[in-house]
């Protein structure tokens, strides 16, 4: 969803974004399940309290692509079985977080380890409160330097619930 006006989306209950595939050969190839982009004057906001984003495919952001001026908050629900075109250079089978976008996780949010969260340079996952799932997500940063920060907010109680994709 791209915004020419403020857009707010709530995903809850048994809602499913299931089996979508964007055109992988031309045009916008991002966000198989959900593509979010605002502009400087208008924002796009989504809150996921339940439901699933599953079996979607895109070049980047197989499940969800969060672009500039977009904010995605996940307090529940599941991302699983999504696919980015990793072999062709695509990134973020679960989530792709681009510069200027925000991604917040709390509560029972869960992204299966097969669906990674790709963080472009300068972006990070913001944690708000204690996460209830033992494993929450696998993070793939664009930059693997010792000073790269991938989490922000309530890190102390939650960092152990994440893993970082090993550098190639």
pLDDT for the residue numbered 21: 84
* Token pair listed for 45: 């906001």
Q: Yes or no: say if 34 and 62 are a contact pair by the CB < 8 Å rule.
A: no
Q: Is the pLDDT of residue 1 over 80?
A: no
CA 68/CA 4 separation, integer angstroms: 13
In the structure, what pLDDT confidence band is assigned to residue 38 with cuts at 50, 70 and 90? Answer: confident
Across the range 81-95, mean pLDDT stands at: 89
Instruction: Give me the pLDDT at residue 46, please.
Output: 94
- Tell me the pLDDT of the chain averaged across its residues: 91
- Which pLDDT score is estimated for 85? 84
Average pLDDT in the 76-91 region?
Answer: 89
How much is the pLDDT for 5?
Answer: 59
Looking at residue 121, its pLDDT comes to 95
Three-state SS across the chain? CECCCCEEEEECCCCEEECCECCCCCCCCECCCEEEECCCCCCEEEEECCCEEECCEECECCCEEECCCEEEEECCCEEECCEECHHHCCCCCCEEECCCCEEEEEECCEECCCCCEEECCCCCEEEEEEECCCCCEEEEECCCCCCCCCEEECCCCCHHHEEECCCC
């Amino acid at each position: 969803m791209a915004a020419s006006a403020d857009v707010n989306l709530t995903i809850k209950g048994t809602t499913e974004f299931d089996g979508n595939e964007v055109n992988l050969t031309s045009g916008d190839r991002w966000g198989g399940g959900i593509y979010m982009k605002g502009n400087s004057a208008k924002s796009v906001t989504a809150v996921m309290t339940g439901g699933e984003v599953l079996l979607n495919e895109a070049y980047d952001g197989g499940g969800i692509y969060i672009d500039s001026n977009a904010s995605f908050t996940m307090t529940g629900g599941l991302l699983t079985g999504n696919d980015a075109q990793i072999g062709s250079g695509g990134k973020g089978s679960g989530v792709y977080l681009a510069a200027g976008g925000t991604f917040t996780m709390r509560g029972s949010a869960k992204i299966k380890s097969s669906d990674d969260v790709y963080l472009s340079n300068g972006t990070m996952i913001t944690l708000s409160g204690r996460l209830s799932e033992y494993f929450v997500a696998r993070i793939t940063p664009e930059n693997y330097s010792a000073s790269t920060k991938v989490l922000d907010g309530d890190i102390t109680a939650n960092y152990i619930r994440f893993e970082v994709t090993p550098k190639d």
